[in-house]
Structure 1
Amino acid sequence: MDSHLSFESPAAPPHKVVVGTVERALRDRSAEGEAAGVLVGTALNDDDAEFIEYWCVQVGTRAVSGSPLLGLAGLCLGHAARRFGRLSDEALALVESLAARAEADSTDVDGRALDGYDDVRSFLHLW
């Protein structure tokens, strides 16, 4: 049997879908899986940098401790930094905060926040 890892890059959904899906996941953790796909598709394929950043910040500041969306928000901000070459001061502070939380307690924020932090430092030549 041939097994291998594959990477899927979900398409960027319409903004209305992103807003509805993310808001639902922030109220109901059972929707986190769907929101994760939407957030990744948006970060990788949407051309509206401000929209991407806004929703990553919303997720990164509003998701509950232990939610996989926290680490993902940091990772997606790293994608945005790579794609657009900039982040707001608020987003930069959030990436740093999520990475510090992940380093302190991986049950609070998962390690993807550290990957996002590394991407931000690398692509924006910070810290």
Structure 2
Amino acid sequence: MKLPTLLAANWALVAAAVLCNALAQLLIKRGAPAGLLPLAHWFDPRLVSAVLLYGASFVLTALVYARLPLSLISPLMAGAIFVLVSLGAVCLLGESLGPARLAGAALVLIGIALLARDAG
């Protein structure tokens, strides 16, 4: 199954699952203070939203895994999540990426491209 021939609906599921997972991670970082969380923090809207997004990501990922080859789609999704979370951390949280992290992100993107090319 070549990547370009996958149905648009499958791509939409992949994109939604990746986005839900990445957003959940960013919301947890934004909503959770350092250290143990007191009970009151568990009801912070950012953390509640993160839990809901992780739930949605789980359901969407299960649908994706049922439709597409796991050996292709799992690494592709993991790499996409890594890149999105890194970008979000820089743009939304003010974190910085040094040369080693940028090189790592580039290698992940190259790996995703190779997976897509050799999806047959």
- TM-score of the superposition, structure 2-length normalised? 0.35
Higher relative contact order (CA 8 A, sep 6+): 2
Based on CA coordinates, which of the two structures has the bigger radius of gyration?
2
Q: Which structure: greater helix fraction?
A: 2
- TM-score of the superposition, structure 1-length normalised? 0.34
